[in-house]
Structure 1
């Protein structure tokens, strides 16, 4: 077969494969064009999940007849004129690929009018071929209507999901635009029914509009900025209010919604010791940066970016995230109607039992007596001291907890300490609480180089698989520094010294668990990988040293555990991110009983 030049219609359809994968990509490109036209109001309407019809209407600057006909040509754009313009991009779009690509796989109608013109013009394109251009009455601005998306590319159409799934993707996208452009009004309708309308607002008001008033009260604000204007503005949820999915977490770079792995990794690392695995914060992360320091020309969809100075950005992010997790300030307040439950005094409330929850068997006895099980504390009273470099960043600071006025009622099912404080019912998970205590003890010992070892009477074979043995060999120096001395005797790893207060069997269980889990948290940076391993060792040691569930405690032991817990820097979660305690206000309990 001889080499030939492809016709424009085929070229545009190929380009559409990169730019237009599904209806949400069409909405994205068209709304970006509206915002670049300085629209103060954008209306989005879809039918059939965007497959049947998409209509975007704006009140922007509009286009004259000549520009209207030119806008559907490949690489025709008003955003840039030279390659150097790519380093100073302030517009959402710039490639000049979207409209011709969309037009090649749909039936497109564009109507546009400039404010100083008496009438507008309408352009019809079907499958990439212009069929009609006519003068037409119109409001100032532009209306783009896309019908029968992928009607001429059935192979592409069959890979689309259900209309409901496509609709959900578009809804999330519209919300992201609303967050990034609070000064612009957005309206959104589906199959002729209005879904939401966002009037122009401040960023705080728009956050409240998008996330809802009650969800907004769980958000904490953090800011950091350099002299050149580069800075982060974060609205992120407290670690006690998370989601099972990431779709309520938005990243913006210069108001462009992106899916950036670097920012996601930083955020995950900040929260990883504060929330359980599989849970995610929600909110919005805004980064303002000199366009010359970020490359948005990575992918045709412009959802990926590259940064030129990652180190400086990392330091800025750390400043902002510390404000979110430590200061814990919120710019939002609960709505007056309906009245919100009282804020817990000294304890972060996680809410009451759901009225739709299945019936629970609360059988079991509230018990006392037991032998002593708590190891002697190495921790002096130190609430408020800075975290050690071996520990994690402290969580948000609520009112400092204490055992003052804490009335211990007893123990429920030998697992939970039950008490009352300030008219709130408090449940404390004794294992999670002891894990937190032990973890901070251990991290402080390593930070202060106060690790003590105990020699064992005879070597204890650990019993590792070949893969676990390789992991052990890799991390042997770190384990030695943390109190574990291991010798290889007849090709078998044997424990000969262990950290003080860790019995030999617990020490061997700790090493086995560490070696089996060491590969779970991978990190490309050697320093971060070493710190992750240290954290894993300390968390595992803390777990094995802690009192278990189904262990009876007497009143004195429960009181000592609570005192030590409330001296911790981070008393509200265990090292794995699970809550150590939950509280129920009187209002929440009364509501459950319909009082």
Structure 2
């Protein structure tokens, strides 16, 4: 074995650079964050050959003193923290004192800076650490050239110029989204590709994500003590095939945290279609002492000291913002403001269902059964996949119209209801309504499906019914599953599970939630324990229950070719206005769309 020896400082820096400087985009992120920490109000970025040949960033911040310039290129040298207490409550974007040293170890680096009040600027490079006079009006200019020129093996891993520029563009937009009060400019190969003037948050989001996003999103504004969640969340109709429009910030820092991602995914789970991904720009402000940003050199990962509280706050805050009833039948009017908490359907009569297998308080809907006039779907029973509970949907198709005589459709009455009043029906599938903005088209099955689904959930909320198992279900469990079951015993009990160890490698389940009584117990519990292990607040049981209720609502909703009367159509519209998430059915498809008078005029070239 060779003798142990200390590595040269240059090699130490090059090894460390591998964690901080992955590609030109990594350099850009670190330098832009330093500019923001310096109090800059305008930041200009110029790239050449995707940032590999040159990356130049200019800001108008406070600058760097002459005596600090050379030290800025040393490892673990920073002006942002001085003690462990500072590290545990970091309020700046940078703090580790590694970025500039790492960059200087793998690229030709030059810094020109003029501190506030200084007679002139000073310059240092990665080789000439002694400051030399330079010309600059104010702020700082950092030039990084020939990235990985001295480590050719690393340079081989870089992609094409267009790919590297694409990554830089992504980083630029992420940073710009977090600071709408700062002006930004990005140029590539001498051509300006994006210029953003300082303004408000809505303008910045519109400039980066476009008008379509703003026309299909809701404003989020939730406060709870020291926690604040705000920003914009797109409706399911704007869902995308990938995650390219997901931006989440903690205290202004873009992060990718699995706890947060789980909370966001669960908030959209009830309204998102298939494998589509939601779009959002959300900001979480909290006490810096409650989040550890010193997890990874890239600073995109964080750890929360109260993970359960943060998960629940984000999940419930976003869920309530997405669940507000219909506010305006024209999404183009802008994001709707959150309403008061949902208090159930309105008191007027509505389309309803009966199901003997459900709790008795469903009778509060005051429904009256009569044979359905649809083509019908009446199998003897419906068996849930994977051993789920079964039910008889035949009775769910008995619709109960007890409709009042609502006002006839006219411009005056339409102005009092977001979805207006019905004027007719097309092929027994779509309802036509007139409102203050123009024409509303409603998919009556999808809309009724959402109404029934939310009513079923509303009735079944609260303490879960429990079904005792005649013979306990015993299955093999790993050590970590046994430990999780013991640690989360109270949580499992509140969900309706009675779980205890039956041996050194076995778990026994003696009761399960009544609604999931016919589910595969071992499969369900394994999934639940895995969720509880990774995420303090699990939504597995709610998700399984909601799958069953969604199927019940789908089969109970009014069918195609069912001819509705005008009072029935109007009752459906009123229930949509009072129902959470009424914009989408249970599968994430839209339930209605608006055609404004301008849209109709364009179809017939009126005024042209």
The answer to whether residue 260 in structure 2 is matched with residue 244 in structure 1 is no
| Matched-pair contact (CA < 8 Å) for 1:230–1:289 | yes
SS at 1:196's partner residue?
A: strand
Aligned to 2:430: 417
The answer to whether residue 385 in structure 2 is matched with residue 376 in structure 1 is no
Alpha-carbon separation, structure 2, partners of 1:321 and 1:6:
50
Gaps of 5+ in 2: 337-372, 378-395, 405-414, 466-506
Gaps of 5+ in 1: 335-339, 345-368, 383-397, 452-472, 487-510
Q: CA deviation at 1:555?
A: 2.0
Q: TM-score, normalised by structure 1?
A: 0.71
| Matched-pair contact (CA < 8 Å) for 2:236–2:273 | no
Q: CA deviation at 1:12?
A: 0.8
The answer to whether residue 413 in structure 2 is matched with residue 408 in structure 1 is no
Change in CA separation of 1:231 and 1:275 when aligned onto 2, cut-off 3 Å: same
Q: CA deviation at 1:201?
A: 2.1
Q: How does 1:10-159 map to 2 (within 5 A)?
A: 10-125=11-126, 129-130=127-128, 133-159=131-157
- Counterpart of 2:575 (choices 532, 553, 567) is 567
SS at 1:109's partner residue?
A: strand
| Matched-pair contact (CA < 8 Å) for 2:70–2:129 | no
Q: CA deviation at 1:563?
A: 4.7
Alpha-carbon separation, structure 1, partners of 2:103 and 2:463:
63
Change in CA separation of 1:405 and 1:575 when aligned onto 2, cut-off 3 Å: closer
SS at 2:271's partner residue?
A: coil
- What is the number of residues matched between the two proteins? 490
| Matched-pair contact (CA < 8 Å) for 1:121–1:135 | yes
Q: How does 1:176-195 map to 2 (within 5 A)?
A: 176-195=174-193
Change in CA separation of 1:476 and 1:567 when aligned onto 2, cut-off 3 Å: farther
Alpha-carbon separation, structure 2, partners of 1:446 and 1:594:
51
1:122-146: CA deviation from partner (whole Å, max 9, x where unpaired): 2222xxx448753222222111111
- Counterpart of 1:428 (choices 423, 443, 446) is 443
The answer to whether residue 246 in structure 2 is matched with residue 224 in structure 1 is no
| Matched-pair contact (CA < 8 Å) for 1:46–1:55 | yes
Give the stretch that moved more between structures: 150-159 or 75-84: 150-159
Aligned to 1:305: 302
1:392-432: CA deviation from partner (whole Å, max 9, x where unpaired): xxxxxx98666833311324xxxx436353442625263x3
The answer to whether residue 236 in structure 2 is matched with residue 203 in structure 1 is no
Q: CA deviation at 1:62?
A: 1.6
Q: CA deviation at 1:55?
A: 0.5
| Matched-pair contact (CA < 8 Å) for 1:341–1:587 | no
Q: TM-score, normalised by structure 2?
A: 0.70
| Matched-pair contact (CA < 8 Å) for 1:109–1:124 | yes
1:150-184: CA deviation from partner (whole Å, max 9, x where unpaired): 22222222222332222222222222222222222
Q: CA deviation at 1:523?
A: 3.0
| Matched-pair contact (CA < 8 Å) for 1:252–1:287 | yes
Alpha-carbon separation, structure 2, partners of 1:441 and 1:380:
17
| Matched-pair contact (CA < 8 Å) for 2:111–2:143 | yes
| Matched-pair contact (CA < 8 Å) for 2:263–2:312 | no
- Counterpart of 1:272 (choices 266, 269, 273) is 269
Q: CA deviation at 1:290?
A: 1.5
Aligned to 1:523: 531
| Matched-pair contact (CA < 8 Å) for 2:422–2:566 | no
Q: CA deviation at 1:288?
A: 1.7
Q: CA deviation at 1:208?
A: 3.6
Q: How does 1:516-595 map to 2 (within 5 A)?
A: 523-524=531-532, 528-543=539-554, 553-556=561-564, 563-564=571-572, 567=575, 569=579, 570-588=581-599, 591=602
Change in CA separation of 1:418 and 1:561 when aligned onto 2, cut-off 3 Å: closer
Give the stretch that moved more between structures: 564-573 or 79-88: 564-573
Change in CA separation of 1:314 and 1:305 when aligned onto 2, cut-off 3 Å: same
Alpha-carbon separation, structure 2, partners of 1:86 and 1:35:
19
- Counterpart of 1:288 (choices 265, 268, 285) is 285
The answer to whether residue 465 in structure 2 is matched with residue 443 in structure 1 is no
| Matched-pair contact (CA < 8 Å) for 1:435–1:546 | yes
Alpha-carbon separation, structure 2, partners of 1:535 and 1:522:
19
Aligned to 2:168: 170
SS at 1:45's partner residue?
A: strand
